[in-house]
């Protein structure tokens, strides 16, 4: 089961500054990494080393005990050592993005387990299997939450990952990632924008987002056009993984269309919210359309 953060706080766009880091920190000490990054002076690094030797403690713990390092400094250095995406504490990305804010938490470990299953069941089974629609039968079941965090954990593998917000009725990904109200999927499908609508997330290496864009009067027609299939094929040339957020199937046919175009779907349900008969009818209809159902997620919150 997946735990879900119930917060619906909307975070306004704020510029995010993340310290640049070397391509790899293999073989480099935490002290050297922090000095190179300008987070620690050479003199203070020596003070920490002496304290460390006297107390038999780790460098990071010693630096914090002396008041010379913060938890965020240590997290940054470890991210460089292990070539792992780093998100600054002051980041204004939504707290719902638990895979970015709390990568070592139990919910994120469950997401990684799900990621492994999806790799084995879909993404690793063929060169053209790069798209996955995240769908649910009803509303308030956690599609956007799962889509965003699943995209993050795929990007943490070093895979070029694209998160597409195909919910052009009540989109949320631009809010979660603080992307503002720029061009997006609807604008591309209407021929009013190009690949510049795809936004690279500076704070999260290997992750890009294609927001929904302007809410159109005809989302079903836009998704039903061949332009959407061609767009997914084109994006598949640049990305290893494409995760697609969708609207609830009970409110429109968009989810069916997106799932057919993607070829595969992950079904999301929520404890005490989802209707079993409704979900059964929905999954049956997806199978009738030839969609591969590669898994399901039950939110227990």
- The answer to whether residue 6 scores a pLDDT higher than 70 is no
Q: What is the pLDDT of residues 113-150, one digit of tens each?
A: 999 999 999 999 998 999 999 999 999 999 999 999 99
Range of the domain at 223: 98-299
Q: 7: pLDDT confidence band, cut at 50, 70 and 90?
A: very low
Cα–Cα distance measured from residue 10 to residue 20, given in angstroms and rounded to the nearest whole number? 27
Residue 272 zone, left/alpha/beta (φ > 0; ψ -120 to 50; rest): left
Q: Which of 16, 46, 81 is the last residue of a domain?
A: 81
Q: In terms of domains, do 243 and 171 share one? A: yes
Q: Is residue 228 part of a domain?
A: yes
Q: Is 161 exposed, middle or buried (0-12, 13-18, 19+ CB in 10 A)?
A: buried
Is the domain of 107 the same as that of 171?
A: yes
Q: Among 22-26, 54-58, 177-181, 205-209, name the one with the lowest average pLDDT.
A: 22-26
Domain-embedded: residue 17 = no
227: exposed, middle or buried (Cβ count in 10 Å: 0-12, 13-18, 19+): middle
pLDDT of residue 79: 78
Report d(CA 127, CA 214) in Å as an integer. Answer: 32
Q: Kindly state whether residue 25 falls inside one of the protein's structural domains.
A: no
156 and 232 co-located in one domain:
yes
Domain boundary among 47, 81, 115: 81
Look at 37 and 263; give whichever has higher pLDDT: 263
Picking from 19, 46, 81, the residue at the C-terminal end of a domain is 81
Q: Look over the chain and give the mean of its residue pLDDT values, rounded to a whole number.
A: 88
Per DSSP, the three-state class of 67 is coil
Indicate whether 123 and 71 sit together in one domain. Answer: no
Question: Collapsing DSSP states into helix, strand and coil, what is residue 130?
Answer: coil
Q: Is residue 103 assigned to a domain?
A: yes
For residues 53 and 192, state if they share a domain: no
Residue 124 belongs to a domain: yes
Q: What would the pLDDT profile of 189-211 be if each residue is shown by its tens digit? A: 999 999 999 999 988 889 999 99
Same domain (yes/no): 194, 234: yes
Q: Given a cut of 80, is residue 20 above it in pLDDT?
A: no
Q: Confirm whether 204 is domain-assigned.
A: yes
pLDDT at 87: 72
135 and 190 fall within a common domain: yes
Into how many domains does the chain fold?
2
44 domain-assigned: yes
| pLDDT 10s digits, 224-254 | 999 999 999 999 999 999 999 999 999 999 9
| Predicted model pTM | 0.80
In a shared domain, residues 103 and 234: yes
**Per-residue pLDDT at 25:** 52
Q: In this predicted model, which residue has the larger pLDDT, 54 or 5?
A: 54
Say yes or no: 43 and 177 in one domain: no
Judgement on whether residues 58 and 147 belong to the same structural domain of the protein = no
Q: Are residues 258 and 228 in the same domain?
A: yes
Q: The domain that contains 161 carries what CATH number?
A: 3.40.50.300
Whether 10 is in a domain gets the answer no
- On whether both 162 and 283 belong to a single domain, the answer is yes
Average pLDDT over residues 176-186: 95
């Amino acid at each position: 089961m997946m735990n879900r953060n119930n917060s619906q706080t909307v975070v306004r766009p704020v510029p995010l500054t993340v310290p640049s880091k070397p391509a790899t920190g293999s073989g480099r000490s935490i002290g050297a990494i922090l000095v190179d990054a300008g987070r620690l002076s050479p003199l203070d690094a020596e003070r920490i080393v002496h304290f460390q030797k006297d107390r038999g403690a780790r460098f990071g713990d010693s630096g914090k005990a002396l008041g010379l390092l913060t938890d965020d400094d240590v997290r940054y250095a470890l991210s460089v050592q292990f070539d792992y995406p780093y998100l600054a504490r002051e980041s204004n990305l939504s707290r719902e993005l638990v895979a970015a804010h709390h990568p070592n938490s139990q919910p994120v470990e469950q997401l990684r387990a799900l990621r492994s299953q999806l790799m084995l069941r879909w993404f690793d089974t063929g060169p053209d299997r790069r798209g996955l629609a995240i769908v649910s039968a009803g509303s308030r079941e956690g599609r956007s939450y799962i889509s965003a965090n699943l995209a993050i954990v795929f990007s943490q593998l070093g895979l070029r990952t694209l998160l597409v917000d195909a919910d052009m009725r009540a989109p949320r990904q631009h809010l979660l990632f603080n992307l503002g109200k720029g061009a997006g999927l609807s604008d591309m499908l209407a021929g009013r924008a190009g690949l510049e609508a795809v936004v690279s997330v500076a704070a999260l290496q290997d992750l890009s987002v294609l927001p929904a864009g302007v809410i159109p009067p005809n989302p079903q027609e836009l998704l039903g056009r061949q332009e959407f299939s061609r767009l997914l094929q084109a994006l598949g040339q640049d990305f290893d993984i494409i995760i697609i957020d969708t609207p609830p199937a009970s409110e429109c046919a968009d989810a069916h269309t997106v799932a057919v175009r993607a070829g595969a779907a992950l079904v999301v349900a929520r404890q005490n919210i989802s209707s079993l008969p409704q979900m059964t009818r929905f999954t049956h209809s997806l199978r009738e359309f030839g969609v591969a159902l590669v898994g399901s997620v039950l939110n227990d919150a």
